[in-house]
Structure 1
Amino acid sequence: MAVEVKYVVIREGEEKMSFASKKEADAYDKMLDLAEVLGDWLATGPVALEDNVRDEMALWLAEQKEALNGILKSGKLPGAETEDAAPADSSDAETADAVDIKTAAKRVKVA
Structure 2
Amino acid sequence: MAVIVKYVVERNGEEKMTFTSKAEADAYDKMLDMADELCDWLGKSELVEDKAKQDALAMYLAEHKDELLAILGNKRKAAPAKPKAATTKQAASTNEKAA
Q: Is TM > 0.5 for Structure 1 vs Structure 2?
A: yes
1:47 matched to 2:47: yes
Give the TM-score of the pair, scaled to structure 1: 0.65
CA distance in 2, matches of 1:26, 1:48: 29
- 1:48-87 map, 5 Å: 48-73=48-73
CA distance in 2, matches of 1:59, 1:48: 14
Report which of the two structures shows the higher radius of gyration computed on alpha carbons. 2
Q: Deviations over 1:32-77 (max 9, x none)?
A: 0000000000011131421111001000000000000000007xxx
Give the residue type in structure 1 aligned to 2:72.
L
State the match for 2:28 in structure 1: 28
Give the TM-score of the pair, scaled to structure 2: 0.72
Runs of 4+ in 1 over 2 A off after TM superposition: none
Unaligned runs of 5+ in 2: 78-99
Q: Deviations over 1:72-111 (max 9, x none)?
A: 007xxx6xxxxxxxxxxxxxxxxxxxxxxxxxxxxxxxxx
C-alpha RMSD over aligned residues: 1.6
